[in-house]
Amino acid sequence: MKLLSTSIMSCVTLIILFLSKRLCFEKTVKSPLRIFIQIHSQGWVKKVADIFNSFTIPKLFLRSAFVLLFLVMSFWANATNYFLTAAGAGNAQTPGSWNTIAAGGGTAATNFTTNNDVFNIPVGINGIVSANWTIGNGGSTTINLTLTVSGSLTINSGFVLTLDQKNASTNSMSVTGSLIFLGTTATTNQLVGATAGSGNAASNTFTLSVGAILKTANAGGIVSATTGSINSTNLTLSLNAGANYEFNGAGQNTTGLPATINNFTLSGTAIKTLSGSLTVNG
């Protein structure tokens, strides 16, 4: 991964230097492209640079390409990837539990409201939400955030994870590992969306991917506009037919369960009521 990132950044650097030479720098300072070639005097970098140096491209195109590249680089510069650490797994709702290095030792997160930040729960990490947790910012600032669960995330009974957005902001949560809801009361949702201004449910997305596992103890099932573990009012949901679903509470119904799923597991006590026809392919 590090080698790939280095290669990508080398290519981006080469393009920037090429554009800067063509646009304005070659008449005022020693060409950055030639400096770059001197440093990388052997191999593919020199060959590609020589090809670039021979091109004749309209200045309007170059200016447009340079602006586009600058915007892309600005996005990369502003986005930070954080990982839930083993030491902080018991308090996933705390910013300090997340670090730029999966094993810890890098830079800890300070909030869940910085634009373009990405929060990852790696395979092997079992995150626990032990207090209410809000991702995003319902204020006037545009905030785009991503939460990915490759390991597992358990939301303890009595607590809620909220995806909060306003206007053009977006929040995205995707699960390829396991998502576990421990709340049992039908009318108590544990994953909700909040919108404000011109915001809408389409800007708060939740995706349960192929092979992922969703477990719930909620008496109201998985999802509806009022009951179940997930409140669909301000969320756009994608529950994949190739995912796995488990109902492990007492008396439960299966509201919100897709018509076709991979594996279907029932555990716990009392009666489980199927809310509709179901095809199980697992």
Q: What is the pLDDT of residue 146?
A: 98
Burial class (CB in 10 A: 0-12, 13-18, 19+), 95: middle
pLDDT at position 76 is 42
Q: Please state, in angstroms and rounded to a whole number, the distance separating the CA atoms of residues 274 and 253.
A: 6
Q: What is the residue type of 142?
A: T
Tell me: the pLDDT tens digits for 57-107? 555 544 554 444 444 444 444 689 999 999 999 999 999 999 999 999 999
Pairing state between β 81-84 and 98-99: antiparallel
Per-residue pLDDT, 54: 53
Band (pLDDT 50/70/90 cuts) for residue 141 is confident
User: Can you tell me the distance from the alpha carbon of 185 to that of 174, in angstroms, rounded to the nearest whole number?
Assistant: 24
Tens-place pLDDT, residues 13-35:
445 444 444 444 343 334 444 44
Residue with tokens 């890098």: 106
Q: Is the separation of the CB atoms in 113 and 143 below 8 Å? A: yes
* pTM (2 d.p.): 0.75
Provide, rounded to the nearest whole percent, the portion of the chain with pLDDT above 90: 65
DSSP assignment of the chain, as one string? Answer: -HHHHHHHHHHHHHHHHHHHHHHTGGGTS--HHHHHHHHT-SSHHHHHHHHHHT----HHHHHHHHHHHHHHHHHHHH--EEEE-TTTGGGTTSGGGEESSTTS-SPBP--S-STT-EEEE-TT-EEEE-S-EEEE--SSS--EEEEEESSEEEE-TT--EEEEEETT-EEEEEESSEEEE----TT--SEEEEEETT--GGGEEEEE-TT-EEEE--TT-SEESSSSSEE-TT-EEEE-TTSEEEE-SSSEE-TT--SEES-EEE-SSS-EE--S--EE--
**Tens digits of residue pLDDT in 237-265:** 999 999 999 999 999 999 999 999 999 99
**What tokens appear for 176 in the block?**
């390829």
Residue 170, token pair as written in the block: 């977006």
Residue 137: the pLDDT is 83
Segment 169-174 shows an average pLDDT of: 95
Instruction: Compute the mean pLDDT over every residue in the chain, rounded to the nearest whole number.
Output: 81
**What is the pLDDT at residue 207?**
98
pLDDT (average), residues 211-227: 96
How would residue 2 be classed by pLDDT, with cut points 50, 70 and 90? very low
Report yes or no: 149 and 188 within 8 Å, Cβ to Cβ.
no
What pLDDT was estimated at residue 263?
98
* Residue of 237 and 45 predicted with greater confidence: 237
Q: Looking at beta carbons, which pairs linking 14-17 to residues 24 or more positions away fall under 8 Å?
A: 14/45, 14/48, 14/49, 14/52, 15/69, 16/66, 16/69, 16/73
Asked if pLDDT for residue 40 goes beyond 60, the answer is no
pLDDT at 122 over 50: yes
